[in-house]
Amino acid sequence: MKMKSKLTILLAFLLIAGNAFAELVRVDTPSSSLIIQADKGKKLRHLYYGTRISDADAANLKAAGAASLNAYPDYGVDPSGEPAIAVVHADGNMTLDLVVDAVSSRKEDNADVKVITLRDSHYPFTVDVCYRTSPAHEIIETWTEISHSEKKPVRLNRFASGYLPIRCGNVWISSFYGSWANEAQVEAEPLTHGMKVIKDRDGVRNAASARSEVVFSLDGRPAENSGRVIGAALCYSGNYRLVVDASPDKNYHHFLAGIDETQSSYNLRPKELFTTPVLAISYTDKGLGELSRSFHRWGRDTRILHTDRLRDVLLNSWEGVYFNIKEPEMDQMMADIASMGGELFVMDDGWFGVKYPRDHDRQGLGDWTVDTRKLPGGIPGLLDAARRHGVKFGIWIEPEMVNVGSELYEKHPEYVIKAPNRDLTYGRGKTQMVLDLSNPKVQDIVFTVVDTLLTKYPEIAYIKWDANMPVRNHGSQYLSADNQSHLFIDYHRGLAKTLDRIRDKYPDVIIQACASGGARVNYGILPWFDEFWTSDNTDALQRIYIQWGTSYFYPAIAMASHISAVPNHQTGRTMNLKFRTDVAMSGRLGMEIQPRNMTEDERQQCRRAIEEYKSKIRPIVQHGDLYRLLSPYDRMGAASLMYASPEKDQAVFFWWKTESFCHKQYPRVKMAGLDPDRTYKVSEMNRIDAVPLAFEGKSFSGRYLMDNGLEMPVSHNAPNADEWASRVLLLSAE
Ligand code: DGJ
């Protein structure tokens, strides 16, 4: 009897302890809430993601008809849906039954991290579902940490970073497909039943085709200034997969994002921690524009380096001389960019290789020794010249790659990615290979490329870090036979470790992420970088489209945008210099041209543009808020956007003609982002017209400008004008 009552008490205690929390977990940003139900011993339930709500409304979410779907769907007990996680246990069991075990929170700098620990009901297998927010940002970062203490490795077949149910309705999805020289093309479509999969399996340059960001517009066709939208950016530099599964019998689309697991299942050892990449999500009811501004603020504050510094105006040598690097030309280019007011010169590909000189793209990668035939004074000579001309100096490298024709490959063929019993498949120049960064020795080699340059020549202020081929021939000469499927993941872990070492030692150097143009535009790689090369396509007209798509998630400070020669080297199109300049000035301004081939008038025009950019609009473009006004994708004949300073006392308005037809009616563009109650004086920048615009020097209220805009003449009254008109207006509050 005594024994029985003790047992009853114990049972009652266990029941109470078991119910110790039936918790609504709130993950709040200043204006949004994600609410999850974490009841101990039960499945984790997603209840709500939307406008920030009160505790009282949160308590009634279920009564109101909340989704109440598994917040991190596990494969097994109900195998019908798309799982976020699927494993094979050490004993061969293919199911998981994850239930809530604990909820905890911690502070990380200025951020709050909430962790919900899920534990399998039978196996010692754990998933921490993590959410990070900070009071300054509208972004929720979510990821998972997976571990176990089973007897042998557990095979992870699925391991998404996050899951989000999206209520069916008139939902549209915007995604960004692309290819070399045509990156970040915006595609918006209604979300219908079936599967929508967005993925990139390049292995190295994982923004090469599709981008790992999407926007869900919940109130129909996406709009800039209205409607509920959810943006999601998977922050990962390797293979990724975003999936929307619209299951027919429920009211929800199911969105999952994470590493692409194709041939990448992972053998997780007991006690090893597998951390999935961050999935950054944001919600607003104010449309695409506000969503972009939220991502830009968060990106500038937390995911891109040195955004407190304004970016230098630079000249890059690539389109000017290609591989034809020679000391006199480098000297001349430095003198020219300095004379036009530029601040930095970047020597691109072609400067290295002794036994295998880099005279073309078929040899030399791997041998980062100066070719003294081309540069007798070596890098010290170039640094002297830069000092003499009063510009900083930057240099191009592609340290993850090697050519067959290289001393590195001769010595170490075992360092390249290659499957056993297969001939090598080459990339660029039909001789390029990817170094196997899963191998710590290769990580050392890549680190040493940068370390040697920066230790010997600490004056190098800027590095352009390029990567120009995908993983081919999936196989690692370093990883064991059992772990070949780890290659894609371990490559990017190796890259991250190497970049950590570089940044620990060289926190200040500016590094550009380039990968055949914009194939590394991703928040997974940017934390070690300062900017990206937006595209190898420098054609001003096509750049409007590429930069427009890129601007959905990435801020202008990171978006390298260069004035180049005509006919354009990628499209063959000829456009007047003002247009080319006006497009380049809407991003991080630079030049990609042989200045020697420019006329004195053209140099003067660029000198003035650079001067105006530096003295008037650089902080507005690089630190301001973006307002997209008229999309080139709407095919209205023109495109327009503007940036406003956070204080709204300064703004810069860009307008570009994108189609040229006689008597076409171009829309009048309403401005945005101004203070309606302030008055702004308007002045045109980069003016080429003989006669000033009618509104030059006039003042208008912010309200008038935002309600009506100003009429843009669609042609120029200038000697060098062609059919491509453009305008840049500075608006200064009085
Ligand atoms: C590809 C880059 O995107 C170009 O800008 C240039 O750096 C070349 N590589 C050099 O090989």
**Distance in angstroms (rounded) separating the CA atoms of residues 474 and 343:** 43
Q: 568 and 590 in contact (C-beta within 8 Å)?
A: no
Residue count of the chain, please give it: 734
**Distance in angstroms (rounded) separating the CA atoms of residues 614 and 56:** 51
Give the up-direction half-sphere exposure of residue 430: CA atoms within 13 A in the CB hemisphere.
0
Q: How far is the CA of 350 from the centre of ligand 1 (A)?
A: 10
Query: At 268, is the pLDDT very low, low, confident or very high (cuts 50, 70, 90)?
Result: very high
Give backbone dihedrals phi and psi of 714, rounded to 5 degrees, phi first: -100, 10
Is 516 touching ligand 1 by the criterion CB < 6 Å?
A: yes
Is 351 touching ligand 1 by the criterion CB < 6 Å?
A: no
Taking residue 368's Cβ as centre, other Cβ atoms within 10 Å add up to 22
**Distance in angstroms (rounded) separating the CA atoms of residues 21 and 707:** 52
Q: What is the mean pLDDT of residues 357-372?
A: 98
Sheet holding 699-701, edge to edge: 625-630, 638-644, 650-657, 726-733, 679-685, 699-701
Residues 666-690: pLDDT tens digits?
999 999 999 999 999 999 999 999 9
* Ligand 1 atom nearest residue 515's Cα: 3
Is 396 touching ligand 1 by the criterion CB < 6 Å?
A: yes
Judged by phi (left if over 0) then psi (alpha if -120 to 50, else beta), residue 364 lies in left
Confidence at residue 246, expressed as pLDDT on a 0 to 100 scale: 83
Residues 155-178: pLDDT tens digits?
999 999 999 999 999 999 999 999
Cα dihedral: 83, 88, 89, 90 (round 10) = -160
Confidence at residue 295, expressed as pLDDT on a 0 to 100 scale: 98
Residue with tokens 């001067």: 611
Residue from 128, 312, 536, 582 carrying the catalytic annotation: 536
SS3 270: coil
Query: DSSP string covering 620-677, please?
Result: HHHHSEEEEEE-GGG-SSEEEEEEE-TTSSEEEEEEEE----TT--PPPBP--SS-TT
* Ligand 1 atom nearest residue 516's Cα: 3
Confidence at residue 85, expressed as pLDDT on a 0 to 100 scale: 98
**Distance in angstroms (rounded) separating the CA atoms of residues 731 and 245:** 46
Q: How far is the CA of 251 from the centre of ligand 1 (A)?
A: 47
**Distance in angstroms (rounded) separating the CA atoms of residues 487 and 218:** 38
**Distance in angstroms (rounded) separating the CA atoms of residues 350 and 330:** 12
Q: How far is the CA of 466 from the centre of ligand 1 (A)?
A: 7
Q: What is the mean pLDDT of residues 306-315?
A: 98
**Distance in angstroms (rounded) separating the CA atoms of residues 491 and 271:** 22
Which residue has its alpha carbon closest to ligand 1 atom 6?
Answer: 318
Residue with tokens 């590429």: 546
Q: Is the pLDDT reported for residue 6 higher than 80?
A: no
* Ligand 1 atom nearest residue 517's Cα: 3
H or E segment at 143? strand 139-148
Query: At 135, is the pLDDT very low, low, confident or very high (cuts 50, 70, 90)?
Result: very high
Q: How far is the CA of 631 from the centre of ligand 1 (A)?
A: 29
Q: Is 348 one of the catalytic residues?
A: no
Is 318 touching ligand 1 by the criterion CB < 6 Å?
A: yes
Confidence at residue 248, expressed as pLDDT on a 0 to 100 scale: 64
Which residue has its alpha carbon closest to ligand 1 atom 1?
Answer: 516
Is 349 touching ligand 1 by the criterion CB < 6 Å?
A: yes
H or E segment at 559? strand 559-564
Q: What is the mean pLDDT of residues 391-399?
A: 98
The closest alpha carbon to 488, from 274, 243, 259, belongs to 259
Residue from 466, 490, 530, 539 carrying the catalytic annotation: 466
The overall longest dimension of the chain from CA atoms, in Å, is: 107
Is 517 touching ligand 1 by the criterion CB < 6 Å?
A: yes
CA angle 392/464/206 to nearest 5° reads 155
Is 467 touching ligand 1 by the criterion CB < 6 Å?
A: no
Which residue has its alpha carbon closest to ligand 1 atom 11?
Answer: 349
* Ligand 1 atom nearest residue 348's Cα: 7
Q: Is 436 one of the catalytic residues?
A: no
The closest alpha carbon to 144, from 155, 158, 134, 154, belongs to 158
**Distance in angstroms (rounded) separating the CA atoms of residues 583 and 649:** 23
Confidence at residue 250, expressed as pLDDT on a 0 to 100 scale: 76
The amino acid at 279: L
Q: Is the pLDDT reported for residue 22 higher than 90?
A: no
**Distance in angstroms (rounded) separating the CA atoms of residues 417 and 408:** 14
Q: How far is the CA of 570 from the centre of ligand 1 (A)?
A: 13
Confidence at residue 274, expressed as pLDDT on a 0 to 100 scale: 98
**Distance in angstroms (rounded) separating the CA atoms of residues 721 and 719:** 6
Query: At 45, is the pLDDT very low, low, confident or very high (cuts 50, 70, 90)?
Result: very high
Q: How far is the CA of 272 from the centre of ligand 1 (A)?
A: 39
Residues 76-113: pLDDT tens digits?
988 888 999 999 999 999 999 999 999 999 999 989 99
Distances (CA, A) of 702 to 669, 695, 726: 14, 14, 22
Confidence at residue 733, expressed as pLDDT on a 0 to 100 scale: 98
Ligand 1 mutation pick, 317, 466, 520, 591, max ligand atoms within 8 A of CB = 466
**Distance in angstroms (rounded) separating the CA atoms of residues 41 and 539:** 58
Q: How far is the CA of 521 from the centre of ligand 1 (A)?
A: 15
Confidence at residue 339, expressed as pLDDT on a 0 to 100 scale: 98
SS3 97: coil
Is 348 touching ligand 1 by the criterion CB < 6 Å?
A: yes
Is 206 touching ligand 1 by the criterion CB < 6 Å?
A: no
Which residue has its alpha carbon closest to ligand 1 atom 10?
Answer: 349
Is 398 touching ligand 1 by the criterion CB < 6 Å?
A: no
Q: How far is the CA of 575 from the centre of ligand 1 (A)?
A: 23
SS3 305: coil
